[in-house]
Each structure stands twice: as structure tokens, then as C-alpha cells.
Chain A
Amino acid sequence: MANSQTPFEQEVAACIVQALNLDITSESIAPEQPLFQEGLGLDSIDILEISLAVSKSYGVQLKADDPANTQTFSSLRSLASYLEKHRSK
């Protein structure tokens, strides 16, 4: 179902909540909800924190000149699918 998190999405959501010290449960991040602005309201500082967390957890070094505009960070689902493709651990 589109609105429930896959097991890997659950893991990435938990990673985001922990890295950003968010006061929400990881389950409450809808997989296709935008992570920025109107959605979860993250900003570029948060992207950097997430990039560090996923580099440590999955060995993925994120690259993009302007990640706010790229597909990767548009939602939990797109971030998780990117990590799944590129993870080295």
C-alpha cells in the first residue's frame, strides 16, 4: 500500500528522526509526503545532517549541487529508494 512504509523506509525514517532529533515518531512520516516546506518542513541544514547520517549508516555519499531541487530528497520514498540502489553497507 502506498501510504505505509516498507521495512527499509521504516529504517530510513528512524534514521532521519534520530539524526534531526525530531519530536515525532518515525512511523508518522508518510512515505510520499514532501520532506521540505509544507510537508515535514526540513531545510538545508537538515539535509546536511541527513547526508551525514546516511553516509555513516549506508556508506552512501550524497552528491548534488542543489539537493532541495532534486528528486532524492523529495520524499522519504525517493530517498530510501536512492539509498537502496547506492548503499555499500
Chain B
Amino acid sequence: MTAAPTLPLLNRTGNDHPVAWRNGEAVTLAQFLHEVQELAVQLPERRFLFNLCTDRYRFLATFCAALLRGQTNLLPPNHAEKTLVQMHTLYPESYGVSDKGLSLAGLDILPYPELSWESRSPLSIPQIPGDHTAAIVFTSGSTGEPQPHSKQWGSLVQVAQRQAQRLALPPTSRIVATVPPQHMYGLESSLMMPLHNGGTLHSGQPLFPADIRDALSELPGPRVLVTTPLHLRICLDEGIALPPLALILSAAAPLSQELAQRAEEAFAAPVHEIYGCTEAGAIAARRTVAGEAWHPLSGVAIRGTDTESAWVEGDHLPGPIPLQDILASAPNGMFRLLGRKADMVNVAGKRASLAALNRQLCQIPGVRDGIFFVPDDQPGVAQRLIALVVAPALTESEILGVLRQQLDPAFLPRPLYKVESLPRTATGKLPRETLIRLLGELHHG
């Protein structure tokens, strides 16, 4: 047996190179390596670590310290108590690291320590085995129970390199991200990409347009904004002026041509989109205004286009991974997205099966019939689900109250309408056109 090849923690040479930008100051490579090592020494001897840091730099340092100790980062979809309790049951021999003083009964949480930095002899860049499970990323299923997806270090590094190459990312990019680091898109684009492309990450997670502008303004160019269609639309509608950008990256929801065009004009920067999923990570990219077709990352192959069951293969992936979208082949190895599989919905980047949602709705005592459905797409508008319910003895808020306990909030219907009956056909089906017509009547009635 041969040992698995190792890959460096990050790809940089100069000790003065800024790895991160935090509180208005650069964190140099030398400082970063000392901090990671100092933190690694303080970690207890356990296999799994809940990385609960919200400051992106501290999240990164914790992430790397775990790697140095051969531990695996558990990345919950959110920090809600319910989620953490569920996950702790799945990984009993775990502990947490938090920079926000989080506490949870039964889970040992180490507060992120204040580490002192004084100039010391430079450390060499650690090597991490490529087959080490660096992270387990969780998606929230429609019913809220977290689904684990293991990520090997070698695979994360490869995707980061290939994504940077596909985007022609400038090697000294300063990256500001509006998305959290514990989701796959944020992990790949705001942590792994700067680590392995010689870039710098901003420690914040700005939300409002003014916060985004301020975070970008702190950094010298070339600036890259890692964001979502929603943030872009709000920035455009508010008319905020951003400092010059080299690149805008969008993912988590489809970006319309119109919104991409407006963003390119307003911010004078190319807007690229990433197509991917939590199971496989980034798969393909495109400059949205250049056309519909997606260009797979190198080493990635899309199979089963023009069928109901496309999948992705890659030399960095453990095996073929089924996709939740229907794909059509396009010239030059590219592909187009035709739409989601009929049963799958995506709200704010979270996926759920409509069948599962309908089942939950109909299982509520007092609900006789009910259906969730997706209204017509409105470009750039955060899409919400609508529910029609037959439940004579319940009020709307009683039904919503039960759903709130069971569903991820993103899937709560907005609005939920009570109706006397659903217009089912003789075979029990509910054609979409009939639902849309009924909805129109409810809106105007």
C-alpha cells in the first residue's frame, strides 16, 4: 500500500502575502500559519469538530487547525439549536469551536481563543493527505434532518484550482463574500479558491448593500464579489456605487440574463455564475450575458444529458453523482439547463421534494387535502412556495404553526390559502393550469 499523496494547506510563497483581511488589516501568511498551529495545539483529541465560527477568517483558521490535527470539520447548514442537537446525535464524539459564545447542552464548545501574534520564525506550509475527510457538509432536507456529504481534502483543492482556472481569476484576488462559509458555494469560492489561487479573503459576511460596499472598499484590487442573485438585485435596486470590481460570482439560485446585464453595466465587471450542488461541489461556470450554455470545469464530465437522469463524473469525485436538474447537451462539450426535475423545488438555495412537502402538509391532523406548488418564475425575485389547503376546522395560522415546527423556514408557504376543495381531475391529478387559475381567483376574490 502506498500512502495517499499530500497537498499543501495553501498555495503561496511570500511570508508577507495577505491570506486574509480582518478588522482593516492584512493577516500575513506567516501570521496565519502561526495562528493555525497555535489553535491546532489547543484542540482536544477527537475526530469531529463543529466549526461554528462566523468570522470568515476564524472559520478558516479553525478549518485548517482541524486539518493539521487530522480531524474533520462538521459544517451544519445553520446554527439553530435544533439542527445542532440533531447533528450532535449523529456525531457523538464531536466538539465545537465558536467565536460567538455559542453554547449547547451536551456539546463541548471551545471559545475561539484570543491568539497573540508577535513576529516569529516563519513556519513551512503544512501538507495534508489528499484522502483526508476535511469536511462534512450538510444540506437541510425538506423535513429538516441534515444530510451529510463528505469532502476529501484533495477533491476540495482540485475543484478550487479548476474553478479559478475556468474563471480566469486573477491570482491576487481580494474576495468579499455575502454567503456563509459553511455552505458548499461559500466554502469553495470564498475559502478554498483564495487559499489555492494566491488570493485574500475578507473576514466579514456583508449583507446590506452599504455593508458590501464598505467591505469591498477596505481592500485594494483586484476585487471579487462572491454573492447571489438576491444580493445583486438589492444592490442594483438600491443604486449603490461599488468600488471597481474584477469579477462578480453568483450562485445558489438562477441568475436572469436581464439581471446579469444590469449588474455588468452598473458595476463594470463580468458576472459569472457557478453551477453545482452540495454533493459534487462546483461543476460548471458561465458568463451569464454570453449565453445560456455552461462550460464544465476541466476534469468534469456531464452524462445523461437529454434524459430525465443526468449525472456528473469527475476524477476528484468518489463516483457518479446524480443531478436534480434536466440537462441538454450543447456544442463543444457544454450543456444547458432545461429545468428542475418536476418534483424538486429550490427556495433560496435550499432544495426540497414537493412530494415530501405535500405529504407533510396532508399528515397534519385536520388537513383533508393540500398541495404545495411553485408560482410562475419571476426573474430575480426570491421565489416562495404557495400552498392550497382543505381544512375546515383549522385556521391558516394553526396550519402554519404546525408546518413551522416541521419545515425549514424557506419552505413555509407564502401565502397559504384555505380552499373548500382542490380541483382534482378524475384521476386525482391537479394540473398546473388549473392551480394557476384557482390562484388567480383567490388573489382577486
- Assess the A52–B238 pair: CB atoms within 8 A: yes
Measured between C-beta atoms, what is the minimum distance from B98 to chain A in Å? 14
Contacts of A52 in B (CB 8 A): 234, 237-238
Contacts of B209 in A (CB 8 A): 51, 55, 61
- Assess the B207–A66 pair: CB atoms within 8 A: yes
Q: Is chain A's interface secondary structure helix, strand, loop, or mixed overall?
A: loop
Which parts of A36-89 form the interface with B (CB within 8 Å)?
Answer: 37, 41, 43-45, 47-49, 51-52, 55-56, 61-67
Q: CA separation between A48 and B396, bound complex, in Å?
A: 26
Task: Using known A-B contacts A22-B414, A23-B414, A43-B409, determine if residue A65 contacts B204 with beta carbons closer than 8 Å.
Answer: yes
Question: Would you give the 0/1 interface string for B209-227, flagging 1 where the beta carbon is closer than 8 Å to chain A?
Answer: 1110010000000000000
Contacts of A37 in B (CB 8 A): 409
Number of A residues near B (Cβ < 8 Å) is 22
- Assess the B409–A47 pair: CB atoms within 8 A: no
Measured between C-beta atoms, what is the minimum distance from B55 to chain A in Å? 9
- Assess the B231–A48 pair: CB atoms within 8 A: yes
Task: Using known A-B contacts A45-B382, A48-B234, A51-B234, determine if residue A21 contacts B414 with beta carbons closer than 8 Å.
Answer: yes
Q: CA separation between A45 and B383, bound complex, in Å?
A: 10
Question: Could you say which of B54, B211, B238, B409 contacts A64, with CB atoms under 8 Å apart?
Answer: B211
Contacts of A41 in B (CB 8 A): 400, 404, 409, 412
Q: CA separation between A39 and B119, bound complex, in Å?
A: 50
Q: CA separation between A45 and B412, bound complex, in Å?
A: 13
- Assess the B210–A63 pair: CB atoms within 8 A: yes
- B230 contacts A by Cβ under 8 Å: yes
Q: CA separation between A56 and B237, bound complex, in Å?
A: 9
Q: CA separation between A55 and B238, bound complex, in Å?
A: 7
Measured between C-beta atoms, what is the minimum distance from A19 to chain B in Å? 11
Task: Using known A-B contacts A23-B415, A55-B238, A61-B238, determine if residue A49 contacts B208 with beta carbons closer than 8 Å.
Answer: no
Contacts of A55 in B (CB 8 A): 209, 238
- Assess the A47–B207 pair: CB atoms within 8 A: yes
- B334 contacts A by Cβ under 8 Å: no
- B360 contacts A by Cβ under 8 Å: no
- B348 contacts A by Cβ under 8 Å: yes
Q: CA separation between A45 and B382, bound complex, in Å?
A: 8
Q: CA separation between A61 and B209, bound complex, in Å?
A: 8
Question: Could you say which of A21, A45, A64, A65 contacts B230, with CB atoms under 8 Å apart?
Answer: A45
Q: CA separation between A21 and B386, bound complex, in Å?
A: 12
Measured between C-beta atoms, what is the minimum distance from A34 to chain B in Å? 13
- Assess the A44–B207 pair: CB atoms within 8 A: yes
- Assess the B214–A63 pair: CB atoms within 8 A: yes
Task: Using known A-B contacts A41-B409, A41-B412, determine if residue A62 contacts B234 with beta carbons closer than 8 Å.
Answer: no
- B206 contacts A by Cβ under 8 Å: yes
Contacts of B400 in A (CB 8 A): 41
Q: CA separation between A52 and B210, bound complex, in Å?
A: 11
Question: Would you give the 0/1 interface string for B407-444, flagging 1 where the beta carbon is closer than 8 Å to chain A?
Answer: 00110101110000000000000000000000000000
Measured between C-beta atoms, what is the minimum distance from A40 to chain B in Å? 11
Q: CA separation between A21 and B415, bound complex, in Å?
A: 9
- Assess the A62–B208 pair: CB atoms within 8 A: yes
- Assess the A62–B412 pair: CB atoms within 8 A: no
Contacts of B207 in A (CB 8 A): 44, 47-48, 64-67
Q: CA separation between A63 and B204, bound complex, in Å?
A: 13
Question: Could you say which of B205, B348, B404, B414 contacts A65, with CB atoms under 8 Å apart?
Answer: B205
- Assess the A64–B404 pair: CB atoms within 8 A: no
Contacts of B416 in A (CB 8 A): 23
- Assess the B415–A61 pair: CB atoms within 8 A: no
Residue of B nearest to A47 (CB): B207
Contacts of B396 in A (CB 8 A): 23
The 5 lowest CB-CB distance pairs between A and B, nearest first, are A23-B415, A61-B210, A62-B208, A63-B210, A45-B382
List A residues at the B interface (Cβ < 8 Å).
21-23, 37, 41, 43-45, 47-49, 51-52, 55-56, 61-67
Q: A37-B409, A63-B210, A66-B205 are in contact. List 13 more A-B contacts (CB 8 A).
A: A41-B404, A41-B409, A43-B348, A45-B382, A48-B208, A49-B382, A51-B208, A51-B238, A52-B238, A61-B208, A61-B210, A62-B208, A67-B208
Provide a sorted-by-A list of 14 A–B residue pairs whose CB atoms are within 8 angstroms.
A22-B415, A23-B414, A37-B409, A43-B348, A45-B348, A48-B208, A55-B238, A61-B238, A63-B210, A63-B211, A64-B207, A64-B208, A66-B205, A67-B207
